[in-house]
Every structure is written in structure tokens, then in C-alpha cells.
């Protein structure tokens, strides 16, 4: 910034420019440009001071000054000021710098309609083929959840750069479409584009979400060859990818290979170990971390509490929780209270969990009440669950999960009319339960199944294998837990529904297609039901295959008829 390091220096320079008559931008003084840029864009600057300077500029027709203010406002906590300045300023004509800054402001402030108008203005200005504008459009359309529009922009681009590819890959990941992201990454490499650091992080996120371990391992090799191994965000993404793909050894390898470990890398490996049920090891890693000069953060606390929770170490977890303020100078967040409530619920301490929720200094959210209701279901406390349901009903619920849980509570107590009313409420508020799906990667290709899925090209073989599996398991004592199906249908239909759950289809496909002796790895978007958990434990014993399932809450390593979660999930 032209040698300016503080606002004190900036104000001294400004005073000198006023004396010289070079304070209105008309002289095109480099000092004045540096002053304006520092105050507007530097972290040590003062945006309000920059705004006062901007109002005195007589040559505001120079697009640089307008664009700098719009950019500064777009990066500020109140990005709508960028839009206001654009609408009220008649100074400079927008150019290929203006539109990306405006689109960024629209993304941050969720002004989707205005962003689409900006898109139209860019087209009318003849900038429809400009790579910078199009890259900004891809990001803009990805944020509000319109990846199809983002792809249309990307698909029509006459010229692309690595930012274009990274933006569309990242956009699809953010919108829950990681398989498409991986396909785009493959196309990017095939078109001769070398991924940058941001691309690597994005595709690793996609691999983690999709459970695409093979692709993730290839990206890891690319990272080593291209000297990205020193980048903390890349290592963090690698650890997360390996952990979420069910390969904790890969996560540990990535951690061990890293010499300069920051708080994010330490936190990632602690969280990874805790999620895989290696809780004692996670706590040991945390102890090693505290011996360094690295200061823990809120995410580290969540990871450590998760380790105590998953291990069922209630006293130890509480001791750590109560030491946060005094020992680590951290105030507990709602996520930390959520971990404590979950820990108590899993251990059957429902009274204590409810007391925490009702007395905590932070307003409890719907997730906490749902956790307690789930605990009531697991531990057979129907009276409490019906009472807690009323707490949920008092809240403005905007997601389907709470209504589904309410419906299940009513169904379990035979209140079918109340369950029907819950469904009506969901319909009125246009909320839909996300379909359960499970993914499995075979030879680098990700296959996705939903419950009762018959779309797969090898569906006939899969269902034949599934029937064979059930027959063998029944001989070993398996009986479907039909109480899991909360519908007014007979037990035979309930058993059929249970058999066709998505993770069972995925495991059947894995037994048919995966190489002999290999680990079958499944990624599931919802919590596994009791029946599927029992079914897969028995599959691991009868078919002598290790199975790793990542559901919405936990990792389950099934081996020889046992599960790493200790049947606590």
C-alpha cells in the first residue's frame, strides 16, 4: 500500500496532500491512490474514512475509485452498501471489475434477484464472454443453491481458467452433488488444467462427501508430487477425506507426514479418531497437542467432547467442559452444550440432559430437543418424549427432521391422527423428508442407492444377492426388527421394507462386486436404524467381510459380528 502501514500514517499523508492540493484525485497522484486503496482495502485501514475521501473525489468518473469502494463494501460485514453505491452513483461506467464485486456482494447478502439483474446488465454491456465476470456468476449462482444455473454459465464459457473449474466443482459440492464434482474434476484434468490449492481442497471435499476413496488417494498422490503437502488447508482436507471415506489409517498417514501442524490439522485428526470410535487415541492426541504452543479453538473443543461422548466417559467429559473458561479462556458454545447433552442422552442420563437444556445460558435450539427426544426413544421414556415434543412445537421449525421425529413419537404411542396432522403441517410449510441414500465406491465409480431402489443396471443381481443374504442370516438367528417401521401395515410388509433399506442394497452390491477380502465402505446420509445395524453386524460375521458405514452421526466398523460404536449411536 505504498509504504502506508497504519491509519496514523495515512492521515499524515492525507494532510500533506490537502496542503499540496492533491486531495481530490484530479492530479492522479500515486500517493493519493495509495492513500485511498489503503483506507478502503487494508485490514489496518478505515472504510468509513475511505468513504469520506471518496465523496470528495472530483474525478470519480475514474472507474478505479468506484470499483475499489464497491469491492471494499462487498468484503465488509454489510455488503448491501456495495449495491446501494452502485445504484446511486452516476460516476463511472461499470466494467469487468465492477460486476464481479457486485455479484460477490449479492452472494453475501443473499440478494438473488438483484444478482440476476446484474447478470443481465453484464450481458447488455457486452461482457457475457468475460472470464472474470463468468467466474463470479458461477460462484453467485452456486451460493443460493442454483447449481444448474451455475453450470449453464460454465458450459457456455468460450474461455475457462482454473478458477472457472474450481468454482463449478466447489459449487456442486456445496449443493450436495459431490459425484458431479468428481466428474468435473476428471474432465478438468483431461482438458489439461493443473489444479491449484483451492481446487485440491474442493475435490477432496467432494471425495469426502461421496465416499470416493480411490479418487481421494489419487488426489493425495497429486498433492505429494506438486508440493501442496505444506499447505495446512490441504492437509486438513486430506485428513477429513480419509476419515469420512472410512480409512483412518490414511488420515493418520497424512497427519504424520506433516511437519508443521497448526490447530486445524490437530483438530481434524482428533475429530477423525473420535468419529471412528478411537476415542482413547483421540484424547491422547489432544494431550500431545496441549504440550505444544498451539492454542486450542472452539472446533478443537467440539472434537474432544465428541471423543468423550463416543467413549461414554461422562465424568471426564464434564470435567473438560467445566474447565474451558478457566483453563483455556474459551466460553462454551451451543455446539459444546449439544455435545454434553448428547453424551448424557447416550448414557441414559435423561434427567441430567433435560436439566442442562433448561438451565444453560444459551437458548436451546431444535437440535437439542430432538437429541433428547431420540434419547427417550432409545431408553423407552415415552412420557418424557411426549412432554418434550411440546417444546419443539413452540419453536418455528423450518426443517423436516423435527416433524419426522414428532411423527415417529406419535406413531410409537399409537397416535396415528396426531402423526397425520404432523404430515399436514409439513405439507403446508412445503417441507419434505430427504430420501435416505447410501453410496459405495467400486473401482473408482460411486454408486448410489435409495430404499427399494430398482434403477441400478444390476438391480436384479443385487436383489438376488440380498435375498440370499437374508436367508443365510435368518439361519443364524436374524429376525427383522419390525418395530422400526412406523406405518400401519402388516409385519410381512414391514420386514420387506426393512430388507430394502439403502445400506443393505449397497452392501449386497459390494459383496457382489468388491474384490475378495477388501473392506466394503458405505456412506449414508441419515442415521442407521437398529435393524440395519444388527443386520450388518451379522453380515460381517457370516460373510467374513469388514464393513465400514458412515451414517449422519457416527462411523461403524463392523467386524466378526461386532461394531466399533459399541452399539451406542
The answer to the question of residue 524 being in a domain is yes
Place of cell 445460558: 361
Question: pTM here?
Answer: 0.85
Q: 300, 263 in Cβ contact below 8 A?
A: yes
* Per-residue confidence (pLDDT) for residue 27, from 0 to 100: 62
**Phi and psi of 360, rounded to 5°?**
-65, 150
3-state class (DSSP) for residue 62: coil
Residue among 169, 182, 118 at smallest CA distance from 142: 169
Q: 22-31, 181-190, 476-485: lowest mean pLDDT where?
A: 22-31
Q: 306, 274 in Cβ contact below 8 A?
A: yes
Residue among 110, 115, 159, 114 at smallest CA distance from 136: 115
Query: pLDDT class for 90, splitting at 50, 70, 90?
Result: low
The answer to the question of residue 301 being in a domain is no
Residue among 322, 319, 367, 373 at smallest CA distance from 345: 373
Say how far apart CA 520 and CA 508 lie, in whole Å.
10
* C-alpha cell of residue 327: 483453563
Say how far apart CA 559 and CA 522 lie, in whole Å.
14
The answer to the question of residue 255 being in a domain is no
Q: What is the mean pLDDT of residues 534-552?
A: 94
Q: 338, 373 in Cβ contact below 8 A?
A: no
Q: 341, 357 in Cβ contact below 8 A?
A: yes
3-state class (DSSP) for residue 243: helix
- All residues at 6 or more sequence positions from 77 whose CB lies less than 8 Å from its CB, including other chains: none
Per the rule left: phi > 0, alpha: psi between -120 and 50, beta: everything else, 544 is left
Q: 11-25, 344-358, 505-519: lowest mean pLDDT where?
A: 11-25
Q: Which domain holds residue 50?
A: 1-21+29-59
Query: Is it the case that residue 509 has pLDDT exceeding 80?
Result: yes
User: Domain count of the chain?
Assistant: 2
* Per-residue confidence (pLDDT) for residue 444, from 0 to 100: 87
Query: Is it the case that residue 271 has pLDDT exceeding 90?
Result: yes
Q: 312, 320 in Cβ contact below 8 A?
A: no
Residue among 212, 153, 148, 158 at smallest CA distance from 185: 212
Cβ atoms within 10 Å, residue 467 = 12
Give 112-143 as a DSSP string: HHHHHHHHHHHHHTT-TT-HHHHHHHHHHHHT
Query: pLDDT class for 490, splitting at 50, 70, 90?
Result: low
Give 366-432 as a DSSP string: HHHHHHHHHHHHHTT-HHHHHHHHHHHHTS---SHHHHHHHHHHHHHTT-HHHHHHHHHHHHHTT--
Q: 51, 37 in Cβ contact below 8 A?
A: no
Q: What is the mean pLDDT of residues 150-167?
A: 95
The answer to the question of residue 447 being in a domain is yes
Give 96-112 as a DSSP string: TTHHHHHHHHHHHHT-H
How large is the C-alpha radius of gyration of the chain?
A: 28
Between strands 520-524 and 547-550, the pairing is parallel
- Domain stops at, among 11, 38, 59: 59
For the segment 93-103, what is each residue's pLDDT rounded down to a tens digit?
889 999 999 99
Residue among 433, 421, 442, 444 at smallest CA distance from 525: 433
Q: 451, 497 in Cβ contact below 8 A?
A: yes
Query: pLDDT class for 516, splitting at 50, 70, 90?
Result: confident
For the segment 409-442, what is each residue's pLDDT rounded down to a tens digit?
777 777 777 777 777 877 777 777 778 899 999 9
* Per-residue confidence (pLDDT) for residue 385, from 0 to 100: 82
Q: 532, 553 in Cβ contact below 8 A?
A: no
Query: Is it the case that residue 382 has pLDDT exceeding 60?
Result: yes
Query: What percent of the chain shows pLDDT beyond 90?
Result: 66
Query: pLDDT class for 171, splitting at 50, 70, 90?
Result: very high
* Per-residue confidence (pLDDT) for residue 25, from 0 to 100: 65
**Phi and psi of 545, rounded to 5°?**
-130, 135
The answer to the question of residue 38 being in a domain is yes
The answer to the question of residue 225 being in a domain is no
Give me the chain's average pLDDT, please. Answer: 89
Give helix 248-256 / helix 213-225 axis angle, nearest 10°: 10
Query: Is it the case that residue 544 has pLDDT exceeding 70?
Result: yes
For the segment 455-464, what is each residue's pLDDT rounded down to a tens digit?
999 999 999 9
Amino acid at each position: 500500500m505504498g509504504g502506508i502501514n497504519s491509519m496514523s500514517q495515512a492521515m499524515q499523508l492525507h494532510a500533506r496532500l490537502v496542503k499540496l492540493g492533491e486531495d481530490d484525485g484530479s492530479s492522479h497522484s500515486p500517493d493519493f491512490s495509495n492513500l485511498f486503496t489503503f483506507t478502503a482495502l487494508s485490514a489496518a485501514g478505515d472504510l468509513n474514512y475511505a468513504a469520506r475521501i471518496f465523496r470528495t473525489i472530483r474525478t470519480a468518473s475514474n472507474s478505479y475509485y468506484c470499483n475499489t469502494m464497491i469491492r471494499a463494501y462487498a468484503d465488509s460485514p454489510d455488503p448491501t452498501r456495495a449495491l446501494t453505491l452502485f445504484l446511486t452513483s452516476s460516476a463511472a461506467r461499470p466494467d469487468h471489475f465492477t460486476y464481479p464485486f457486485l455479484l460477490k456482494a449479492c452472494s453475501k447478502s443473499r440478494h438473488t434477484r438483484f444478482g440476476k439483474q446484474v447478470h443481465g446488465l453484464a450481458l447488455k454491456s457486452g461482457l457475457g464472454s468475460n472470464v472474470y465476470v463468468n467466474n463470479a456468476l458461477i460462484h453467485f449462482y452456486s451460493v443460493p443453491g442454483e447449481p444448474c444455473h451455475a453450470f449453464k454459465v460454465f458450459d457456455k464459457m468460450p474461455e475457462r481458467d482454473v478458477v472457472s473449474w474450481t468454482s463449478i466443482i466447489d459449487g456442486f459440492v456445496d449443493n450436495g452433488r459431490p459425484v458431479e464434482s468428481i466428474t468435473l474434476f476428471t474432465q478438468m484434468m483431461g482438458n489439461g488444467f493443473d489444479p491449484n490449492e483451492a481446487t485440491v481442497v474442493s475435490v477432496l471435499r467432494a471425495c469426502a462427501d461421496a465416499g470416493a476413496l480411490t479418487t481421494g488417494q489419487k488426489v493425495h498422490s497429486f498433492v505429494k508430487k506438486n508440493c501442496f503437502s505444506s499447505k495446512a488447508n490441504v492437509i486438513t482436507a486430506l485428513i477429513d477425506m480419509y476419515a469420512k471415506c472410512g480409512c483412518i489409517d490414511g488420515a493418520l498417514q497424512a497427519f504424520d507426514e506433516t511437519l508443521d501442524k497448526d490447530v486445524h490439522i490437530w483438530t481434524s485428526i482428533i475429530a477423525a479418531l473420535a468419529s471412528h470410535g478411537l476415542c482413547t487415541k483421540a484424547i491422547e492426541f489432544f494431550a500431545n497437542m496441549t504440550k505444544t504452543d498451539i492454542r486450542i479453538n472452539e472446533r478443537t473443543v467440539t472434537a474432544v467432547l465428541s471423543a468423550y461422548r463416543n467413549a461414554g466417559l461422562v465424568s471426564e467429559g464434564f470435567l473438560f467442559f467445566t474447565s474451558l473458561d478457566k483453563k483455556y479462556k474459551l466460553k462454551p458454545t451451543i455446539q459444546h452444550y449439544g455435545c454434553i447433552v448428547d453424551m448424557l442422552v447416550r448414557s441414559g442420563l435423561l434427567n441430567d440432559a433435560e436439566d442442562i437444556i433448561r438451565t444453560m445460558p444459551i437458548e436451546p435450539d431444535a437440535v437439542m430437543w430432538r437429541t433428547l427426544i431420540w434419547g427417550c426413544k432409545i431408553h423407552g421414556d415415552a412420557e418424557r418424549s411426549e412432554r418434550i415434543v411440546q417444546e419443539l412445537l413452540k419453536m418455528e421449525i423450518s426443517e423436516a427432521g423435527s416433524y419426522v421425529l414428532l411423527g415417529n413419537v406419535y406413531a410409537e404411542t399409537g397416535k396415528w391422527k396426531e402423526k397425520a396432522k404432523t404430515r399436514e403441517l409439513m405439507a403446508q410449510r412445503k417441507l419434505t423428508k430427504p430420501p435416505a441414500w447410501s453410496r459405495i465406491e467400486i473401482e473408482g465409480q460411486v454408486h448410489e442407492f435409495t430404499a427399494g431402489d430398482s434403477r441400478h443396471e444390476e438391480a436384479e443381481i443385487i436383489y438376488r444377492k440380498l435375498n440370499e443374504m437374508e436367508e443365510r442370516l435368518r439361519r443364524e438367528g436374524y429376525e427383522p426388527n419390525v418395530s422400526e417401521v412406523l406405518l400401519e401395515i402388516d409385519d410381512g410388509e414391514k420386514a420387506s421394507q426393512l430388507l430394502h433399506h439403502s445400506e443393505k442394497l449397497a452392501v449386497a452390491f459390494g459383496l457382489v462386486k468388491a474384490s475378495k477380502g477388501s473392506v466394503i465402505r458405505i456412506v449414508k446420509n441419515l442415521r442407521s436404524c437398529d435393524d440395519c445395524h444388527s443386520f450388518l453386524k451379522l453380515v460381517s460375521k457370516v460373510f467374513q467381510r469388514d464393513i465400514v458405514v458412515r451414517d449422519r452421526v457416527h462411523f461403524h466398523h463392523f467386524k466378526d459380528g461386532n461394531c466399533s460404536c459399541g452399539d451406542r449411536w
